[in-house]
């Protein structure tokens, strides 16, 4: 009771002293005394008894305390100039004032509002500016170290007061606070040589770091709360200040490493993270500087043992190899405290708790924490050394996350920093002073740091960096003397990333780090151009992963997830472009008898895990890997058919079909979809294996490309990448088994599949499984199909048609249409009219499906069938057909009508949805994707354009073979002379069918005339189609020009057709379209076929050819087609010039005379490029050169005739000399 009474008495006395002091101050100030008087009153009444006033503050009512506190701030603010004159001891006053304000703010609760905050911010800013800015030299703060502690107190007080007001603060008030705090930071910066926080004076350095710790904590708090709403200029100024601080740190060879400085590092880097996480502007000029500075923190706390501030003799003992260089291993350090009993972490923070600690804890809880942790120190952290270690680990973590922020801010630009952050050699050797992200990932003692390093490496590998890495190369010739190219540097980095990641996967015990390692490896595999790297790299990755999968993570809690991740990585590695080393390794496993006994290898491992149906997730991933292996290494899988067949049958037999797919309420509802995925994966493995065994390389190519008839294009090999076909890119020695035996063997495998496997899944209750089983039929080849028994052929045909017509699921219908499109190209099918009719009917019905994905495959199938039908018509017209024309005519009618309808598919939607500016020029797919305001609408449009492209291809196939003749004109109807009709060569039944379908082709208006409608569709598609559609239009027009029954010069639309082709040749940005357009211009064989357009064609092609070398390539994808376009231009120009002697147009003669010099130089270059083959032993090459010479010679002869007929004998003589060079 006595103690309580004494306490109450003391409190009452302190409150009385407070009120007396401030009442006296108010009374004296009301008379407006001189400044000197006010300053003396402040010192006498307030500052001289600051301790008792601080003790009284918690006992005062908040409104009274706030009012008196505002009076104090107003007086200090208004009389600062008196201190600047040096009349009073400014430093001592500054110390007392800061201590008083700090004590009041941290021991009591003030009422904060906008007026109060404005006064606080203004007065604090002026006080700090006066006492820190009133210096004559940069070293004033260093000489007067007493200013540092008051500055820290002011900042802490300001931080606490703002925490009470932050929810009401406006954006401008947040900006004012940031500007003030950044000014304080700049006061302590100086330059890198005289920066306060790297001063030789220990107390100054330590104090400066404490001030800056508070400052950066305040900046970070503002950015974590309202960073997105701050003005861009403030963000930029913050970046500049942080960059200068980081540059100062980077200028030192070693970082200081004690508890105080470690806290400073953490706050600085956390602040930097919050500023960089959401960049408000470009960071390009700062990235390199930040990276160089952040990289130093990777070894923070690892190079030396931490400096022990508790021991005065540290500087004598020389802790660490470089301890003498650390500035704060000097004297004047506090004595070590006596040892104390052990305290758990959660109790250590409660020592000496009071009201001040409560305020600080509340403030700390509102801050954005970088790392979530139960405690700053682990349970055995009982010393300053251990605390320092914890903070330094946080600093390393923060630095790595800042690097990740920079990487995400501009991934493409950040690729230039890879050589600074990632190792180029000896990744597994620890290097003290050459720390990289990979070394942090491999060997940092903190698990969180290792996880952050792994995440940062993932961020660097993801996105645009994968494109930049395609230039990487690591071969013996990639280094030139002491100079290392960028491609070689990236190649070395990729090698080290592979080595380090595989090492972690092999030896790591942490499940989380292992999971991240697999993600890194997946990104590595996707980004590495293995064809430009050492040939054994990919096989080493596969072997290492196989070994890891073989071991199976027996001591890990999350075994199945890790095993699945490892197999997924193995799948990615097997999906990479095929490698001869990997192929030989797999063949070596088979030759070593991997299927016999206990042999290990990739194949055995995958087969074994595929059969582990007790863990379906693992079985699923193993089957996916087998699918990739079958696709990329078909020659290997052909040798493993027995094992594949057995595994697939085992899967299908173990998971029998359920009669009902409605499993609601069933306990197996969750497991059933996974089982379906396993079954689907096994069927896809069967599909890929059968494609490999059959030698499937895509649909049967029935068309002939006339452009390859030209000797200038015959040596240009067109490669088509068929994604659904196995990869045959490896140069594997030719098998000694002849093709007939191969087809017999493949037919035996197919026969087994149709008996043993397909019946179990073709009618499965799961649509996913049914779609996969029908897709198997799309991988068949014509010889294999022909080798099957008739009943199995019929089974495949009927199953495909039934799925296309009767299945309710769109994906199954789409798969069936794809199978129809493949099988419909087989010669034995298109000679069976009844089957062809059923195929056409099934595909045509699906072109009317509501889903565009079904319409795409259905239209693709119809386009393929159109190609087949055109060959049937060619045989029929040539007298080789064995079946009557009626059936073919009906099929042709149905196909033409369907193709014309599909060519107009979605025209209205395209016309109304495409932006206006797009309609005035050929529309590309890029136009649609850039101007996306409604993504779902544009997605439908793009898919509809694929349907349109298929329709145009189908029309072009038919246009090549249908025989057209002129319609007999009706008296008084001149338009009829411009229309055409079909020469049927058929029975009356077909005419009745046409009459029913199109209201008679003999209509005087000719509105249903196929030819006119085809041409109209072609011209329309050029305007409303994308790149794919335009290419198919050019190809279709080539086919139309090949039709022998047409006289192009008599067609009213011929000039429009040639104009469209010339427009695409001149203006299209896509080289593939330009190649097809100029190829189509070379199809007409005579000058009469060009009609009045001959001059325009010659002039345009010549203009493009003359300016070809100077044309800029707008799209990088065009580079690989540049040579092909030049060759096709050459071939077409030679063809056109070869016809000039038969042209009597004066305009042509004038053009040839005007361009004589260019033509002479161009043909001379062709003569030189052909060269002399008299000593060549390659007969094929010799024949090709002779053909080229013949074409050039005929062209020169034609030009000579033109020049001689126009009386230009001198020019003609020069060209005759060129002809002599070819003899």
Confidence of residue 1109 (pLDDT cuts 50, 70, 90): confident
The CB density around residue 261, as the number of other CB atoms within 10 Å, is 28
- Tens-place pLDDT, residues 817-833: 999 999 998 888 877 88
- Tell me the torsion sign for CA atoms 870, 875, 879, 880: negative
Query: Could you tell me what percent of the chain has a pLDDT over 90?
Result: 38
Q: Dump strand ranges (E) for 185-259.
A: none
Write the CA distances from 359 to 160, 262, 782, integer angstroms.
Answer: 8, 23, 83
Residue 567 has pLDDT above 70, yes or no: yes
Question: How confident is the model over 551-575, as a mean pLDDT?
Answer: 92
Share above pLDDT 70 across residues of the chain, in percent, rounded to a whole number: 75
Q: Is the pLDDT of residue 670 over 50?
A: no
Task: Give the lowest-confidence range in 129-133, 902-906, 907-911.
Answer: 907-911
Per-residue confidence band for 45, with pLDDT thresholds at 50, 70 and 90: confident
Distance CA 544, CA 537 (A): 11
Q: Is pLDDT above 90 for 1063?
A: yes
Mean pLDDT of 123-144: 63
CB atoms near residue 143 (< 10 Å): 12
SS3 content of the chain, % helix, strand, coil (to 5): 70, 0, 30
Q: Is the pLDDT of residue 882 over 90?
A: no
Alpha helices in 255-370 (DSSP H): 259-277, 284-297, 314-317, 345-348, 355-365
| Residue 708 confidence class, pLDDT cut points 50, 70, 90 | low
Q: What is the mean pLDDT of residues 715-744?
A: 65
| Amino acid 358: pLDDT | 44
For 36-57, what is the mean pLDDT?
Answer: 85
Which tokens in the block code for residue 850?
């509501």
User: Is residue 301 scored above 60 in pLDDT?
Assistant: yes
Q: Which residues contact 255 (CB under 8 A, 6 or more apart)?
A: 249, 261, 265, 296, 297, 300
Residue 941 scores a pLDDT above 60: no
Q: What pLDDT does 572 receive?
A: 96
Q: What is the pLDDT of residue 936?
A: 46
pLDDT higher than 70, residue 341: no
Lowest mean pLDDT among 568-572, 807-811, 1007-1011: 1007-1011
C-alpha span between 943 and 796 (Å, rounded) = 29
Give the pLDDT mean for 486-515.
92
754: tokens are 């149709």
Contact residues for 594 (Cβ-Cβ < 8 A; gap 6+): 600, 601, 603, 604
pLDDT at 660: 46
Name the residue among 193, 187, 235 with its Cα closest to residue 211: 187
pLDDT, position 84? 58
- In whole angstroms, what is the distance from residue 415 CA to residue 1178 CA? 47
pLDDT at 1179: 65
- Higher-confidence residue of 1050 and 130: namely 1050
Contact assessment for residue 216 and residue 227, using Cβ atoms and an 8 Å cutoff: no
The SS3 assignment for 510 reads coil
1098/373: higher pLDDT: 1098
pLDDT tens-digit series, residues 431-480: 766 789 999 999 899 999 999 999 999 999 987 888 888 888 887 655 55
Q: Which long-range contacts (CB under 8 A, 24 or more apart) does 698-702 make?
A: 698/722, 698/724, 698/725, 699/821, 699/822, 699/825, 699/864, 700/781, 700/782, 700/822, 700/825, 700/826, 700/827, 702/825, 702/867, 702/868, 702/871
Per-residue pLDDT, 430: 75
Q: What is the pLDDT of residue 1002?
A: 35
Per-residue pLDDT at 178: 92
The DSSP element (H or E) to which 833 belongs, if any, is helix 833-846
Question: Distance (Å, rounded) from C-alpha 57 to C-alpha 71?
Answer: 14
Distances (CA, A) of 435 to 394, 486, 606: 16, 21, 38
pLDDT in tens, 259-297: 888 899 999 999 999 999 999 888 889 999 999 999 999
How distant, in Å, are the alpha carbons of 14, 419, 575, 1220, 1221 from that of 463? 66, 18, 19, 58, 55
- Report the pLDDT value the prediction gives residue 280, as an integer from 0 to 100: 87
State the pLDDT confidence band at 778, using cuts at 50, 70 and 90. very high
The model's pLDDT over 620-657, given as tens digits with 9 standing for 90+, comes to 999 999 999 999 999 998 889 999 999 999 999 988 88
Query: Which are the contacts of 410, defined by CB distance < 8 A and separation ≥ 6?
Result: 282, 283, 284, 287
Instruction: Please report the pLDDT score of residue 1082 as a whole number.
Output: 93
Q: What is the phi/psi pair of residue 1177, to 5°? A: -100, -5
CA 730, distance to chain mean position in Å, is 28
Please list the alpha-helical segments (H only) found in 422-464.
437-443, 447-461
Mean pLDDT on 7-36: 81
d(CA 209, CA 188): 9
Question: In the structure encoding, which two tokens stand for residue 51, read together?
Answer: 């301790």
Tell me if 612 sits within 8 A of 618, measured CB to CB.
Answer: yes
Q: How confident is the model at residue 1022 (pLDDT cuts 50, 70, 90)?
A: confident
- 71 class by beta-carbon count within 10 Å (0-12 exposed, 13-18 middle, 19+ buried): middle
Q: CA 450, CA 457: separation in Å to the nearest integer?
A: 11
CA distances from 464 to 456, 504, 523, 747 (A): 15, 26, 12, 46
Q: How far is CA 969 from the centre of its chain?
A: 61
């Amino acid at each position: 009771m006595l103690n309580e009474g004494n306490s109450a008495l003391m409190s009452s006395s302190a409150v009385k002293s407070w009120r007396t002091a401030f009442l006296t101050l108010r009374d004296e100030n009301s008379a407006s005394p001189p400044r000197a008087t006010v300053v003396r009153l402040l010192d006498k009444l307030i500052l001289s008894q600051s301790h008792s006033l601080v003790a009284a503050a918690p006992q005062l009512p908040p409104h009274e305390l706030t009012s008196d506190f505002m009076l104090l701030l107003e007086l200090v603010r208004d009389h600062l100039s008196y201190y600047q004159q040096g009349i009073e001891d400014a430093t001592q006053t500054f110390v007392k004032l800061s201590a008083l304000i700090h004590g009041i703010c941290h021991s009591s609760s003030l009422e904060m509002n906008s007026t109060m905050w404005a006064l606080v911010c203004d007065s604090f800013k002026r006080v700090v500016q006066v006492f820190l800015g009133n210096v004559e030299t940069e070293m004033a703060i260093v000489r007067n170290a007493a200013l540092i502690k008051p500055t820290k107190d002011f900042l802490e007080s300001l931080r606490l007061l703002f925490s009470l007001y932050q929810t009401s603060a406006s954006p401008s008030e947040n900006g004012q606070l940031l500007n003030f705090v950044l000014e304080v930071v700049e006061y302590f910066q100086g330059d890198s040589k005289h920066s306060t926080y790297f001063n030789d004076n220990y107390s100054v350095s330590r104090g400066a770091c404490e001030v800056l710790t508070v400052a950066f904590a305040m900046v970070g708090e503002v950015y974590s709360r309202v960073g997105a709403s701050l003005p861009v200029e403030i963000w930029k100024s913050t970046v500049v200040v942080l960059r200068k601080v980081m540059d100062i740190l980077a200028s030192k060879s070693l970082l200081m490493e004690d508890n105080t400085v470690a806290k400073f590092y953490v706050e600085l880097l956390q602040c930097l993270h919050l500023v960089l996480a959401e960049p408000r502007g470009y960071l390009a000029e700062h990235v390199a500087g930040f990276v160089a500075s952040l990289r130093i923190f990777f070894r923070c706390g690892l190079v030396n043992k931490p400096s022990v501030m508790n021991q005065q003799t540290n500087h004598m003992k020389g802790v660490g190899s470089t301890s003498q260089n650390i500035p704060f291993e000097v004297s004047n350090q506090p004595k070590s405290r006596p040892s104390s009993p052990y305290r758990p972490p959660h109790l250590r923070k409660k020592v000496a708790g009071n009201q001040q600690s409560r305020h600080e804890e509340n403030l700390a809880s509102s801050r954005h924490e970088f790392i979530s942790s139960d405690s700053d120190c682990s349970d055995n952290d009982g010393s300053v050394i251990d605390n320092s270690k914890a903070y330094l680990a946080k600093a390393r973590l923060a630095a790595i996350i800042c690097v990740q922020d920079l990487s995400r801010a501009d991934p493409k630009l950040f690729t230039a920093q890879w050589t600074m952050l990632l190792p180029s050699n000896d990744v597994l050797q620890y290097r003290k002073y050459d720390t990289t992200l990979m070394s942090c990932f491999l060997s940092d003692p903190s698990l969180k740091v290792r996880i952050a390093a792994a995440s940062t490496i993932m961020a660097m590998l993801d996105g645009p960096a994968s494109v930049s890495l395609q230039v990487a190369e690591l071969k013996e010739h990639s280094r030139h003397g002491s100079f290392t190219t960028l491609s070689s540097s990236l190649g070395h980095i990729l090698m080290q990333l592979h080595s380090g990641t595989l090492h972690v996967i092999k030896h790591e015990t942490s499940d989380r780090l292992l999971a991240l390692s697999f993600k890194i490896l997946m990104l590595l595999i996707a980004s590495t151009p293995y064809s430009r790297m050492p040939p054994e790299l990919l096989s080493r990755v596969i072997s290492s992963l196989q070994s890891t999968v073989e071991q199976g993570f027996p001591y890990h809690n999350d075994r199945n997830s890790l095993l699945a991740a490892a197999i997924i990585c193995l799948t990615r590695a097997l999906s990479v472009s095929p490698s001869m080393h990997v192929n030989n390794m797999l063949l070596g496993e088979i030759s070593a008898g991997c299927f016999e006994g206990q042999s290990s290898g990739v194949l055995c491992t995958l087969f074994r895990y595929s059969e582990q149906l007790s863990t379906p997730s693992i079985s699923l991933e193993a089957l996916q890997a087998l699918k990739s292996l079958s696709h990329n290494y078909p020659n290997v899988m052909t040798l493993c058919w027995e094992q594949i067949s057995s595994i697939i049958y085992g899967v299908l037999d173990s998971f029998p079909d359920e009669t009902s797919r409605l499993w609601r309420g069933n306990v197996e509802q969750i497991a059933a979809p996974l089982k379906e995925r396993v079954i689907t994966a096994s069927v896809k493995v069967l599909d890929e294996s059968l494609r490999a065994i059959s030698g499937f390389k895509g649909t049967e190519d029935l068309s002939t490309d006339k452009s390859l008839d030209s000797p200038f294009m015959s040596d240009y090999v067109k490669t088509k990448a068929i994604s659904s076909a196995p990869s045959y890119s490896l140069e594997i020695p030719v098998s000694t088994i002849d093709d007939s035996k191969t087809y017999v063997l493949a037919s035996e495998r197919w026969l087994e599949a149709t008996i043993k496997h397909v019946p179990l899944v073709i009618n499965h209750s799961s649509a996913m499984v049914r779609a996969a089983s029908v897709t198997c039929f799309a991988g068949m080849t014509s010889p294999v199909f022909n080798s099957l028994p008739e009943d199995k052929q019929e089974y495949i045909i009927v199953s495909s048609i039934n799925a296309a017509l009767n299945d309710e699921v769109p994906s199954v219908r789409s798969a069936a249409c794809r199978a129809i499109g493949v099988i419909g190209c087989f010669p034995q099918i298109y000679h069976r009219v009844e089957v062809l009719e059923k195929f056409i009917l099934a595909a045509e019905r699906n072109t009317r499906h509501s889903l565009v994905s079904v319409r795409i495959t259905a239209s693709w199938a119809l386009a393929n069938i159109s190609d087949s039908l055109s060959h049937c018509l060619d045989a029929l017209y040539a007298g080789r057909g064995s079946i009557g024309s009626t059936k073919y005519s009906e099929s042709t009618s149905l196909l033409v009508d369907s193709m014309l309808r599909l060519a107009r598919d979605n025209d209205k939607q395209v016309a109304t949805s495409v932006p206006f500016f797009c309609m005035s020029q050929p529309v590309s797919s890029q136009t649609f994707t850039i101007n996306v305001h409604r993504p779902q609408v544009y997605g439908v449009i793009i898919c509809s354009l694929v349907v349109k492209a298929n329709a145009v291809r189908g029309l072009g196939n038919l246009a090549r073979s249908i025989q057209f003749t002129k319609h007999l004109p009706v008296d008084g109807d001149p338009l009829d002379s411009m229309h055409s009709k079909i020469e049927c060569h058929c029975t009356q039944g077909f005419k009745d069918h046409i009459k029913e379908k199109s209201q008679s082709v003999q209509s005087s208006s000719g509105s249903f005339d196929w030819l006119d409608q085809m041409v109209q569709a072609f011209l329309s598609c050029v305007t409303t189609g994308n790149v794919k559609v335009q290419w198919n239009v050019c190809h279709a027009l080539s086919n139309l020009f090949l039709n022998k029954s047409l006289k192009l010069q008599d067609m009213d639309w011929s000039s429009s057709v040639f104009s469209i082709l010339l427009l695409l040749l001149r203006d299209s940005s896509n080289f593939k379209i330009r190649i097809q357009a100029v190829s189509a211009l070379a199809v007409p064989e005579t000058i009469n076929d060009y009609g009045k357009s001959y001059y325009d064609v010659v002039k345009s092609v010549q203009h493009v050819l003359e300016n070809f070398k100077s044309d800029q390539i707008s799209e990088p994808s065009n580079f690989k087609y540049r040579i092909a376009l030049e060759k096709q231009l050459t071939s077409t120009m030679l063809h056109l010039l070869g016809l000039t002697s038969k042209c009597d147009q004066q305009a042509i003669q004038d053009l040839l005379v005007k361009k004589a010099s260019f033509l002479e130089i161009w043909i001379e270059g062709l003569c030189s490029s052909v060269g002399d083959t008299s000593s060549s032993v390659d007969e094929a090459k010799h024949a090709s050169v002779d053909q080229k010479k013949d074409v050039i010679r005929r062209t020169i002869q034609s030009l000579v005739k033109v020049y001689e007929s126009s009386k230009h004998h001198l020019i003609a003589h020069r060209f005759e000399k060129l002809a002599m060079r070819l003899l």
